[in-house]
Amino acid sequence: MMTIKKALAIASVFISTNTVAQTDAAINAKIDALVKKMTVEEKVAMIHASSSFTSGGVSRLGIPELVMSDGPHGVRLEHGRDWNADKITTDASTYLPTGVCLAATWNPQLGYAYGSVLGSEAAYRGKDVILGPGINIIRTPLNGRNFEYQSEDPFLVSKMVVGYIKGVQDQGVAACVKHYALNNQEILRNSIDVHLSERALREIYLPGFKAAVQEGKVLTLMGSYNKVRGQWATQNRYLMNDILKKEWGFKGAVISDWGAVHSTMQALWNGCDIEMGTDLSMLPNPNYGKFFFGDTVTTMVKNGVVPEYLLDDKVKRILYVMMKTSALDGTRKKGQFNTKAHQETARKVAEEGIVLLKNEASLLPLDKSKVKSIAVIGFNAERPQALGGGSSQIKALYEITPLQGIQSLAGNNIQITYAPGYNINRGATADQLSINKAAEAAANADVAIVVGGWTHGYDYTVWKDNAYDAEDTDKPDMRMPFGQDQLIKAVLKANPNTIVVLMGGGPIDMSEWVDQTKSIVQAWYPGMEGGNALAKVLFGQINPSGKLPMTFPKKLEDVPAHKLGQYPGDSVKVYYMDDIYVGYRYYDTYKVTPQFAFGHGLSYSSFEYSNLKVQKSGKSGTVTFTVRNTGKTAGAEVAQVYVKQEKSALQRPEKELKGFQKVFLQPGASKTVTITLNEEAFQYYNDVQSKWVSEAGAFQVLVGGASNAIRLSGKLSF
Ligand code: BGC
């Protein structure tokens, strides 16, 4: 046990570590002094797990364990030191909409607010690191973790990720951007070796991570399970040493995914700093000394097989994270838990992230004074989702389901009936009796609202049973499970005033009923306040402003990963022959019409674009235009700016997103939007020359409300 005197003496070294004036040089001097006092064993203790979610500390020197928690859309329930879920109630917390819903807001300020909630609740719960954001590119709609991720587009990811990270870290907690890199499918995630061109790596899969490091100043990063070009990602020399640490100047610590380290030497030399989750076979008492970064490392260092500076570098990085988060001096802000403000942020993200995909004959918004009865149909209408999905599970303080949200907003004057219409039971086909009951309820109501789509399991232990959006599993195809297509068709037949609300992490094949359905709403997994947010959108108290952060293709066969590339690979390797043609870059270039395009999302209002001016200054451009709300409702439009190079040495996509702004406008109001396109906006990665290139020539600047709704175009030449 340390004496109080000793503890104070140690603490005095760290006084004011979190003041702004504290430079990295001063921090590093303190770290150096501390590391000099440490034995090899103490250093080694810090670079591997000491329990399910901690890595080791050195109590003799006042260095606590580093405490981590999932992430990414809430602070996970407590799993104790040995993975046994704690039987406590104090870990029921704020459940935010999942990452894909956040991205659908196209509002980086909300990213910051979202991160602040996470950081604050993590601090309150005594966590040093929150294991999020997850930002892997959405390459195929089948990936089970798309709901945690953000987008198919690297620019949108880069903009959203920075706010999230700053929000977390401004609360004195480290964010952990994951999963670096190319963990774009869950099937075979522990064996697959991803091969791709340098250009696809640089243009599509890395920009989000680069922004996280260089703009977000993220303090930790998680290496992924898969291999990249033959070497495990977490211990991948090129990814970790060459790109992350050398090229991007990452100063923080690399944490392995749980069980992603495979060998001591490679992981030691190739940039992994903390090994987590490796051998849990001896639960509840695993031998952490047996980890790859355990006793072996002590022996190797002592025998001179590996130099001590290698170990020191890891320890210093971990201490850097601790200093930056005031983990050593106890000056971290206390944080807040389950506040009204946190719940309001959850609701706001849902309100701005829900996307109105289709709305014919103004079926939406529902008029409270006219609608007398509503049939709510579908199991997802009353299914809580927070505990599903795998490691991102949240024990929500509460979760307003769609049915509850609709009931509470509708009040007593509207009669609500509910029919599940199907059962959540993998492999189950349509149950005609349930469908008949649902159709009958629809026939007897003014309006029917079917809430269906994907789901992701009830809790961690059985999360894969009926889960489609979940870790370690991908969806079998894009067809909705449990006979929902038959259900929707039957309900539509019974009542043409049917609104389809889809939950889930991404698109489904709607081909059997999309044309007959007047209104379709994409609700994602909208968090603890999701039901309230959805009801407000349906009744027009919120004017929808979410836009799709990914293309919704008509059918799976249209998806470039499946058509041009490989998925899921041959169990050993997967070749990304779809290359840079991910998402709309493919659909636009190859002229494949999607069901709903990237960037698409309707409003109850309408917006007009005018006065485009495109100016060049040096190697950059400035784009100015006016957006006007021509409707009768206040609302927001996400104005999107795409760039298209007219002629290039290597083929380029039809267009690429390079700027956007969410503009809030009262009816009749207009706003001038200015977007700067820096040199990078015009560049591409030339893998013949192995560098980003700026080519002379003409570039079109395309402005509009979706990738397939370009309203203005201009030109500039360099
Ligand atoms: C997941 C990570 C998660 C970790 C800890 C892994 O299985 O891939 O995203 O942070 O577990 O729960």
pLDDT tens digits, one per residue of 675-696: 999 999 999 999 999 999 999 9
Clarify whether residues 371 and 471 are in a common domain. Answer: yes
Annotate 606-642 with b (16+ C-beta within 10 A) or e (fewer).
Answer: ebebeebebeeeeebbebebbbbbebeeebbbbbbbb
Tell whether 373 and 273 lie within a shared domain. no
Structure confidence at residue 12 (pLDDT): 40
Centre of ligand 1 to C-alpha 288, Å, is 18
Q: Look up tokens 């991102």; give the residue.
A: 392
In a domain, 575, yes or no: no
| Residue owning the nearest CA to atom 12 of ligand 1 | 391
* Within a domain: 20: no
Tens-digit pLDDT profile for residues 621-637: 999 999 999 999 999 99
pLDDT at 20: 41
Query: DSSP alpha helices (H): ranges in 242-307?
Result: 264-269, 295-302
One domain for residues 37 and 184:
yes
Residue nearest to atom 4 of ligand 1 (CA): 258
Ligand 1, from 76, 222, 232, 258: best to mutate by most atoms within 8 Å of Cβ? 258
Give a yes or no: residue 584 inside a domain: no
Residue 577 falls within a domain, yes or no?
no
Domain termination site, one of 302, 324, 346: 324
87 three-state secondary structure: coil
Q: Which of 221, 257, 280 to mutate to test the pocket of ligand 1 (most atoms within 8 A of CB)?
A: 257
C-alpha dihedral sign at 707, 713, 717, 718: negative
| Contact in structure between 296 and 268 (CB atoms under 8 Å) | no
Q: Decide if 348 is inside a domain.
A: no
Q: How far is the centre of ligand 1, averaged over its atoms, from the C-alpha of 258 (Å)?
A: 6
Instruction: Specify whether 474 is catalytic.
Output: no
Residues 6+ apart with CB under 8 A from 282: none
Residues 368 and 311 both lie in one domain: no
Q: How far is the CA of 311 from the centre of ligand 1 (A)?
A: 24
* Rounded CA separation 57/50 (Å): 8
Q: Cα(461) to centroid of ligand 1, in Å?
A: 15
pLDDT score, position 82? 85
**Where residue 236 sits, what CATH number does that domain have?**
3.20.20.300
Distance between CA 513 and CA 281 in Å, rounded? 48
User: How far is ligand 1, taken at its centre, from the CA of residue 523, in Å?
Assistant: 25
- CATH classification at residue 536: 3.40.50.1700
Write the residue with the smallest CA distance to atom 9 of ligand 1. 391
Same domain flag for 429 and 530: yes
Token readout for 660 is 């956007």
Nearest CA to ligand 1 atom 8: 257
Please tell me the distance from the alpha carbon of residue 334 to that of residue 321, in angstroms, as a whole number. 18
Q: Which ranges of the chain have pLDDT less than 70?
A: 1-21, 458-465
Which atom number of ligand 1 is nearest to the Cα of residue 178? 9
One domain, residues 268 and 385: no
Are residues 530 and 622 located together in one domain of the fold? Answer: no
Q: Calculate how far, in angstroms, residue 103's C-alpha sits from the geometric centre of ligand 1.
A: 21
Count other C-beta atoms under 10 Å from residue 391's C-beta. 20
Q: What is the residue range of 693's domain?
A: 607-717
Using DSSP's 3-state secondary structure scheme, residue 634 falls into: coil
What confidence score (pLDDT) does residue 6 get? 44
Report the domain count for the chain. Answer: 3
| Domain-located, residue 504 | yes
Residues at CB less than 6 angstroms from ligand 1: 70-71, 131, 178, 257-258, 391
Residues 171 and 243 in one domain: yes
Closest to 66 (Cα-Cα) out of 263, 372, 273: 273
Q: Are residues 624 and 492 in the same domain?
A: no
The residue whose CA has the least distance to atom 6 of ligand 1 is: 258
Catalytic residue among 257, 474, 485, 579: 257
For residue 521, list its beta bridge partners.
356, 501
Both 454 and 510 in one domain: the answer is: yes
Residue 453 lies in a domain: yes
**Residue 179 alpha carbon to ligand 1 centre in Å:** 9
Verify that 310 and 403 share a domain, yes or no.
no
Last residue of a domain, one of 534, 550, 566: 550
Q: Tokens in use for 684?
A: 């591409």
CB-based contacts of 309: which residues, under 8 Å, 6+ apart? none
Return the pLDDT at 462. 61
CATH number of 675's domain: 2.60.40.10
**Closest ligand 1 atom to 53 CA:** 5
Q: Which atom of ligand 1 is nearest to the CA of 71?
A: 10
Whether residue 147 is contained in a domain is answered as yes
Task: Based on the fold, state whether residues 486 and 634 are members of the same structural domain.
Answer: no
Q: Which residue lies with its CA nearest to atom 7 of ligand 1?
A: 258
Quote the ligand 1 centre to 275 CA distance (angstroms): 12
